[in-house]
Amino acid sequence: MPELPEVETTRAGIEPHVRGQQVRTVIVRQPQLRWPVSAALAEVLPGQIIHAVHRRAKYLLFEAETGHVCLHLGMSGRLRLVPADTPVATHDHVDIVFENDMAMRFNDARRFGSLFWLDGDPQAFSLLAHLGPEPLSEAFDGDWLHTRSRGRRAPVKTFIMDSATVVGVGNIYACEALHAAGIHPRRAAGRISRSRYRTLAAAIKQVLRDAIIAGGTTLRDYIGVDGDTGYFQLRLAAYGRTGAPCPRGCGPIRREIIGQRSTFFCPVCQR
């Protein structure tokens, strides 16, 4: 599933091409994705200009004149800019066609993505209203993690992957940040000190920034807007490296299941 760096890479790649463009029509070939595609999308979006593309967690928000298109890539979704007359491929479910004869095409093989039309405050939308802070914002820091974690017995990895704690820290980046901070993923969230949470918050920010610069992590389905794959996977210190030596020279990386997710860590330097 595309994580925050992949979604941010998509946002940055697509915005220059759609900002300022007027929508001519919306073509919905498959109305049933994870949820039904909003019928209002094809009714009210044509004629409107896209002013900006924002990201909230792993949702893309296309700001139009009277509302927002809210898009989630799901597990395998892709956005591409193509000439409007480009032949349709399998799983090309939705086109937003612009007056410049280009189309923003949404392809989703597994149909776990979603497309909504929001005519009110997008932050009040049910899927966005209860999300935690953005990890790269000033609202997210070690003090926030420490305060929110008090009394929590859940593993710290599960805690930081909870979107009510902080958005966008998926499995790959949780493993990498915990390794960078030297914190064992099974340690109870409520038993970590404020100073160690400050180290962890800084590690989360750094790992995500590095991944965004690298264009994301390509493991299975993710491909960027330009058709290229991200290459942060070449810099992974823990994730997917079972049995490989820890980059700190401690010993082999171990794999365990935590919260039903594969978790990779060094049992020596992460405590």
Question: CATH no. for residue 55?
Answer: 3.20.190.10
Are 114 and 193 part of one and the same domain?
no
Residue 260 near residue 172, CB atoms below 8 Å: no
Backbone angle region of 76, left / alpha / beta, with phi > 0 → left and psi within -120 to 50 → alpha: alpha
Are 12 and 106 part of one and the same domain?
yes
* pLDDT tens, position by position, 100-123: 999 999 999 999 999 999 998 999
Are 149 and 243 part of one and the same domain?
yes
Does the annotation count 261 as an active-site position? yes
Are 252 and 164 part of one and the same domain?
yes
Residues 48-74, mean pLDDT to the nearest whole number: 97
3-state SS assignment for residue 69: strand
In angstroms, the CA 60 to CA 80 distance is 14
Burial of 219 (0-12, 13-18, 19+ CB in 10 A): middle
Q: How many domains does the chain fold into?
A: 2
In angstroms, the CA 72 to CA 128 distance is 12
In angstroms, the CA 263 to CA 255 distance is 5
Are 154 and 195 part of one and the same domain?
yes
Element (H, E) at 179: helix 171-181
Q: Is the pLDDT of residue 220 over 60?
A: no
Is there a domain that residue 106 lies in? Answer: yes
In angstroms, the CA 184 to CA 269 distance is 8
Are 106 and 159 part of one and the same domain?
no
Residues 23-49, mean pLDDT to the nearest whole number: 96
Is there a domain that residue 196 lies in? Answer: yes
Q: Would the annotation count 152 as a binding residue?
A: yes
Is there a domain that residue 120 lies in? Answer: yes
Are 109 and 39 part of one and the same domain?
yes
| Confidence class for position 225, pLDDT limits 50, 70, 90 | low
Are 111 and 200 part of one and the same domain?
no
Q: Would the annotation count 255 as a binding residue?
A: no
- Write down the pLDDT at residue 251: 87
Catalytic residue among 198, 205, 209, 261: 261
| Angle of CA points 164, 169, 172, to nearest 5° | 145
- Write down the pLDDT at residue 229: 45
Residue 149 near residue 197, CB atoms below 8 Å: yes
- Write down the pLDDT at residue 270: 97
- Write down the pLDDT at residue 6: 87
| Confidence class for position 217, pLDDT limits 50, 70, 90 | low
3-state SS assignment for residue 198: helix
Are 18 and 118 part of one and the same domain?
yes
- Write down the pLDDT at residue 1: 66
Residue recorded with tokens 């017995």: 153
Residue recorded with tokens 């941010």: 8
| Residues above pLDDT 90, as percent of the chain | 85
Pairing of strands 261-265, 92-98: unpaired
Catalytic residue among 11, 56, 58, 241: 58
Are 240 and 156 part of one and the same domain?
yes
**Domain's final residue, options 91, 124, 157:** 124
Q: Would the annotation count 54 as a binding residue?
A: no
Is there a domain that residue 133 lies in? Answer: no
Averaged pLDDT score across all residues of the chain: 92
Does the annotation count 15 as an active-site position? no
Are 8 and 66 part of one and the same domain?
yes
| Confidence class for position 223, pLDDT limits 50, 70, 90 | very low
Is there a domain that residue 270 lies in? Answer: no
Least confident residue range of 29-38, 131-140, 215-224: 215-224
| Confidence class for position 3, pLDDT limits 50, 70, 90 | confident
| Residues above pLDDT 70, as percent of the chain | 93
Domain with 243 in it: 142-265
Q: Is the pLDDT of residue 218 over 60?
A: no
Does the annotation count 58 as an active-site position? yes
Are 52 and 158 part of one and the same domain?
no
In angstroms, the CA 75 to CA 214 distance is 20
